[in-house]
Amino acid sequence: MTLRQTLLAGAVLTFAAAGSVSAAELNIACGTVGKGQQLCKEAVAEWEEKTGHTVNVISVPTSTNDQLALYQQILGSGSSDIDVFEVDVIWPGILGSHLLDLSPYTNGAEKDHFPAIIENNTYKGKLVAMPSYTDAGLLYYRKDLLEKYGEDKPATWQELTSTAQKIQDAEREAGNEKMWGFVFQAKAYEGLTCDAIEWVDSFNGGSIVSAEGDITINNPQAAEALTMAASWVGTIAPEGVLNYQEEDSRGVFQSGNAVFMRNWPYAWALSQSDDSPIKGKVGVMALPKGGEEGKQTGALGGWQLAVSKYTESPDAAADLVMWLTRKEEQKRRAIEGSYNPTISSLYTDEEILAATPFIGQLQDTFTNAVARPSRATGANYNKVSNAFYNAVHEVLSGKKDAATSLEDLERDLKRIKRRSW
Ligand code: GLC
């Protein structure tokens, strides 16, 4: 090799090294249920193309509890294994101290999002996550079956119970042995906290712990709500519901074997896909009231994107978050995956409303959704929810009556709270 060749080769190497320093390699964990991961991968690929950075999309467990445990372990050890990840609406108070302040990177974009979500994502004055989509519990129903049996959409849970029973019986009589009246999420996990807070709130029984931090769950309306839900297990819902997460209930409903389903907005896009046996047969409405005096409600859910404080590439990671949460991407996700935007101006977007009509029709459900007490209980929220869903699960599985279980729960929550959360 001549001297000139050696010098040239050295220059190329130096250039390559410089290139690899500026081109980051990131790991993102995204997409849990429905089309989430596919949509994330597509948007990430566009960003890679645009920026020259490389991103590995990591699969995560489907349950929010398992994800939280994983992130607590990774972040707790200060590891940089994951740069960007999705954050459940209930986590900012739990994980906030491990997340990067995104304010320097937003260019004011947070002003376009619902203020309540931005407030939720603000931890000790820092914007630790950008909203990606919002969620509220909804009731899915089979339009064709209600019509076939001359039944109205249920205004109360009591009506839902009798309509579900009637159609289930009639369909089984007609040879559809697998038909169930109602499927929901009753495994002992965070999803049950969502379902159960809806039952309780619909009976005006509050939200476990009030915004002021008072433990309110041990009340007669809450007991009535849980007693009602327990009556469904093994009658209009399969015993197996005690082990169902979102995707288990969707599996039953989407294969045509349930009249009603409680689920989040994402289930809509899948129910309308070309290979869905129930395409065109599904309606979506707000969850029923807990009796005439009750109210329509839905649990507030939703996901954000955040950057780990321990990332080696904060600028690239924050840029990716801004890309994935921007308006165009939220619109694409709403149309293709029925993920509800967090940007208010998208709620009048014609293309979104055509693809996912309930986004416009159920505005009240989305704006009045009942929040789990994650703000009031802060870092203790996970313990509170854990105690709640276990107490509810004991009622649903017939191990305890509702009044006793709520009394025990109140005692457990007091122990967790001590003098303050
Ligand atoms: C949905 C909600 C999330 C909730 C979870 C429970 O993903 O968006 O907030 O914690 O369901 O399973």
Q: What is the pLDDT of residues 1-38, one digit of tens each?
A: 444 454 444 444 444 444 445 899 999 999 888 899 99
Query: From the CA of 148, how far away is ligand 1's center (Å)?
Result: 33
Specify the ligand 1 atom closest to the Cα of 194: 6
State the total domains in the chain: 2
Tokens of 68: 């939280």
CB of residue 194 inside a 6 A radius of ligand 1 = yes
Helix (H) or strand (E) holding 389: helix 381-396
Q: Which residues pair with 343 in a beta bridge?
A: 113
Strand ranges of the sheet holding 282-285, from the earlier edge strand across to the other edge: 180-183, 258-263, 138-142, 282-285
From the CA of 246, give the closest atom in ligand 1: 12
Residues 232 and 347 in one domain: no
pLDDT digits (tens, 9 = 90+) for 167-205: 999 999 999 999 999 999 999 999 999 999 999 999 999
Rounded to the nearest angstrom, the distance between the alpha carbon of 263 and the centre of ligand 1 is 10
Domain extent, residue 46, equals 3-128+301-362
Q: What is the CATH number of the domain that holds 394?
A: 3.40.190.10
Specify whether 292 is located in the same domain as 325: no
- Say whether both 77 and 223 belong to one domain: no
For ligand 1, whether the C-beta of 205 sits within 6 Å is no
User: Ligand 1 in contact with 191 (CB < 6 A)?
Assistant: yes
Q: Looking at residue 260, what is its pLDDT?
A: 99
Same domain, 278 and 165: yes
Q: Are residues 393 and 413 located together in one domain of the fold?
A: yes
Q: Which amino acid is at 149?
A: Y
Same domain, 113 and 155: no
Q: Are residues 190 and 338 in the same domain?
A: no
Atom of ligand 1 nearest to the CA of 134: 8
Residue in 120, 65, 76, 6 with CA at minimum distance from that of residue 385: 65
Contact 390, 192 (CB under 8 A): no
Nearest CA to ligand 1 atom 2: 301
CB atoms within 10 A of CB 76: 10
Q: Which residues contact 363 (CB under 8 A, 6 or more apart)?
A: 347
Q: Are 377 and 209 in contact (CB under 8 A)?
A: yes
Residue nearest to atom 9 of ligand 1 (CA): 301
Given this model, what pLDDT does residue 21 score? 52
* Cβ-contact 343, 256 below 8 angstroms: no
The C-alpha atoms of residue 152 and residue 362 are separated, in whole angstroms, by: 18
Q: Which long-range contacts (CB under 8 A, 24 or more apart) does 103-106 make?
A: 103/127, 104/318, 105/315, 105/318, 105/319, 105/321, 105/322, 106/130, 106/322
Tell me if 301 CB under 6 Å of ligand 1: yes
Residues 309, 228 share a domain: no
Residue of minimum CA distance from atom 4 in ligand 1: 301
| Predicted structure pTM score | 0.94
Which residue ranges in the chain fall short of pLDDT 50?
Answer: 1-4, 6-20
Asked if the structure places residue 133 within a domain, the reply is: no
248 ligand 1 Cβ < 6 A: no
3-state secondary structure of 98: helix
Tell me: do 312 and 294 sit in the same domain.
no
Q: Are 354 and 384 part of one and the same domain?
A: no
Ligand 1 pocket, 224 CB below 6 A? no
User: What pLDDT was estimated at residue 34?
Assistant: 86
**Three-state DSSP class for 271?**
helix
Do 258 and 394 lie in a common domain? yes
